[in-house]
Chain A
Amino acid sequence: MVYLDHAATTPMLPQAAEAMTALLTHPGNASSLHAAGRRARRVVEESRETVAAALGARPSEVVFTSGGTESDNLAVKGLFWARNNADPRRRRVLVSAVEHHAVMDSALWLAQREGAVITWLPVDEAGRVSPDVLRAAIADSPDDVALATVMWANNEVGTVQPIDELAAVAHEHGVPLHTDAVQTVGQLHVDFAQSGVDAMTISGHKFGGPIGAGVLVLGRELDCVPVLHGGGQERDVRSGTLDVPAVAALAVAVELAVKEQPVRAERLAALRDDLIVRVSAEVPGARLNGDAVLDPAHRLPGNAHFSFPGCEGDALLMLLDARDIECSTGSACSAGVARPSHVLLAMGHDEARARGSLRFSLGHTSVAADVDALAAAIAPVVERARSAAAVR
């Protein structure tokens, strides 16, 4: 099996799995006052400190959640409500045009139900939000901005945003910036404080932690209205009994991923560069989407994203799947029917290019043989998909 879909989820690190299984049979409720509760709380708080240290945050800024989607919902909705409560003029949400649906649909929901007004931040052909675009969007009417949200790195095409510059621009007008950093941990150097962002979404299973565990790193001074109400856990921002084994495993994974990031990123980038060269050679018409500059300031080291003109992405995926090569069309799958990716459309590509695209994403278990297998399969697969598209 050749797994080239690490951006969807990556295998758990053995150390994380070990930490998790060790706790599964005696977790305890971290809110309980007795000894079992205290033991559980100690695990949680040590995990919080580990996560904070790994991500350049303070422990009090680490809010454990159920994953990236919840963190995005909490940040976008919670910050909107809090900022809007403080000043009812603040109704605008500035959203990059290439966000994950967890951010985009949260903002759309606010617009439909809570009186928010969305200002979409356009991107260039590489998928990048220019700081000037953000500056102009805020300056348009600075007093009515509730928050801005721009992902650190794009899940489909891997484009890395100039996140610290964007944070600085937002702060010129006192606007908080949330960033969905789900794709970054283990791939890029991620430092919350250094970046200047106010809220940052992290998801455990993207870097070797468990599925169902995530973090919202939330600046200490930031007021955030909860989405989930209940026992008041996690700074009163996120109620719910903590999943202690998952939290512990996430902490182990984040520590390892961050520690190994420089080496891993270099290794993945080399594999990825090889993948791009070889796919381009095997399929002369293939077009790389995203940033052509392949350094980590511009593109996630594990990401390669191609359009294969004349092909349907779903046919390519099926044909590769039949050859035991697993990748993704990278587009949102609504109703089971692949829609052309809003990310590629926002980058100015047409529907045909968007539909004929595939994402190959590398991760910690990727090896050179994976790239070899893809390079061997891609030309015949593209040829076959092209003939299938022609009969439509």
Chain B
Amino acid sequence: MKVLAAMSGGVDSAVAAARAIEAGHDVTGVHLALSPSPASHRNGARGCCSLEDARDARRAADVLGIPFYVWDVAERFGRDVVDDFVAEYAAGRTPNPCVRCNERIKFAAVLDRALALGFDAVCTGHYARIVDGTLHRAVDDAKDQSYVLGVLRPQQLAHAMFPLGETTKAAVRAEAGARGLGVATKPDSHDICFIPDGDTAGWLAARLGAQPGPILEAETGAVVGHHDGAYAFTVGQRRGLALSQPAADGRPRYVLDISPVTRTVTVGAIEALAVDAIVAGPPTWCGAAPELPFLGLAQLRAHGEVHACTASLDDDALVVSFHDRPSGVAPGQTAVLYDGTRVVGSATIARTLPETHCATG
């Protein structure tokens, strides 16, 4: 097969490309330039699209002896991932940009272009497995990235290749070293690649400006503090609230609800965070649509816990009822359904049930 290996400059994608070559494929490396004005150097473990990363990717491709190109997808990435990220926070939701990137960039814009250029598949360093055309968790639980791939449809999976799904991260690093790849000891990237200093609130503030508003206590409706922008908060957040009055019971308070229209952030006790069910947007099935109601597992954030659940459809909307009561579930997050290790599908959370109670209305 003619395989396009997406190479970020990190160790995972380099080893994935090496394995694709070893499997006998005709591999071409491509680094996706995501930023119109990339930083010249990596800053610790953050970010993944500096010029240094592009050079690391090129160097790895040279060691592997494959052609290498840089594809400029900055415009698409800016529109479909970064702008979406800002708009979602502005609307009081909590997006996962990695999910959006896989959905709209790597396995859409890039895959489509690759297929049009005569490639058969796109290979990435994601830790996940494709077994008989279905998506499964990686064997390395700690590195499993099937969650951020839960948005892929069967025809996308049919052209995807994840050579690292059967391996642990430690083994990948060792293999990189053995193959003479200089990125073997490069730190893992964390956080959001387009916010290199990790300060999401500050990054959002620079784009959305100050939007001050009150922080309300859910039970009493009392104003217990003020904020400079509701977008800086996530449902379930505890730190950084800077409340002027302690709770009557002296217990910590958590963000329960964010209302960007009224610029109101509502806080309350941890119990109020627990949800019975979520209502999510139309689901994307990674394989054949499951029989409904679907009895299985739901994961609500990357590397988050799984929850036993029953999922069904209400018109277009996916309704997921939990058998336990998960906490800190934010609209905008992706709910991914699993049947054991198999990824069944996903949907973006629209609201949680019960709705957060707020004394003022």
Contacts and interface: CB of A to CB of B under 8 A. Distances in A.
B323 interface: no
B72 A384 contact: no
Interface stretch (B14-22, B63-71, B147-155, B332-340): B63-71
Which of the listed residues A315, A318, A387 has the most CB atoms from chain B within 10 Å of its own CB? A318
A33 interface: no
Contacts of B112: 391-392
Contacts of A336: 31, 33, 51, 54, 58, 70
B74 A337 contact: yes
B192 interface: no
Given A336-B31, A337-B72, A337-B74, A322 B67 contact: yes
B113 interface: yes
Contacts, number: 50
B117 interface: yes
A317 B69 CA distance: 10
A337 B74 CA distance: 10
Q: How large is the interface on B (under 10, 10 to 19, 20 to 34, 35 or more residues)?
A: 20 to 34
Nearest to A336: B70
B117 A384 contact: yes
A335 B69 CA distance: 12
B101 to A, nearest CB: 16
A391 B28 contact: no
Contact of A384 (B28, B31, B33, B118): B118
Contact of B113 (A322, A337, A338, A392): A392
B116 interface: yes
A338 B54 CA distance: 14
Nearest to A314: B69
A388 B28 contact: no
A390 interface: yes
Interface string A74-104: 0000000000000000000000000000000
Given A318-B69, A321-B67, A392-B109, A335 B38 contact: yes
A385 interface: yes
Contacts of A335: 33, 37-38, 51, 54
Contacts of A317: 69
A369 B113 CA distance: 31
Interface string B92-116: 0000000000000000010011011
Interface string A351-392: 000000000000000000000000000000000110110111
A335 B33 CA distance: 9
Interface string B111-131: 011011110000000000000
A143 to B, nearest CB: 39
A356 to B, nearest CB: 14
B80 to A, nearest CB: 12
Contacts of A338: 70, 72
B116 A384 contact: yes
Contacts of A327: none
Interface in B160-188: none
B38 to A, nearest CB: 5
B116 A318 contact: no
Nearest to A391: B112
A313 B74 CA distance: 17
A30 interface: no
A319 interface: yes
Given A318-B28, A392-B109, A337 B70 contact: yes
Given A318-B67, A336-B51, A388 B72 contact: no
Contacts of B37: 335
Contacts of B28: 318, 322
Nearest to B67: A321
Interface string B14-48: 00000000000000100101000110000000000
Given A318-B28, A336-B33, A337-B33, A388 B117 contact: yes
Contacts of A385: 117
Contacts of A387: 116
A327 to B, nearest CB: 14
A338 B33 CA distance: 10
Contacts of B67: 318, 321-322
Contacts of A384: 116-118
Nearest to A333: B70
Nearest to B117: A388
A392 B105 CA distance: 10
Interface in B52-91: 54, 58, 67, 69-72, 74, 76
Nearest to A380: B118
Which of the listed residues B31, B37, B69, B109 has the most CB atoms from chain A within 10 Å of its own CB? B69
Contacts of B115: 391
For the complex of A and B, the 3 pairs showing the least CB-CB separation, nearest first, are A388-B116, A336-B70, A391-B112
Interface of A: 314-315, 317-319, 321-322, 335-338, 384-385, 387-388, 390-392
16 contacts: A314-B69, A314-B72, A315-B113, A318-B67, A335-B38, A335-B54, A337-B70, A337-B72, A337-B74, A338-B70, A384-B116, A387-B116, A388-B116, A391-B115, A391-B116, A392-B76
Given A314-B69, A392-B113, 5 more contacts: A322-B28, A335-B38, A337-B72, A338-B70, A388-B113
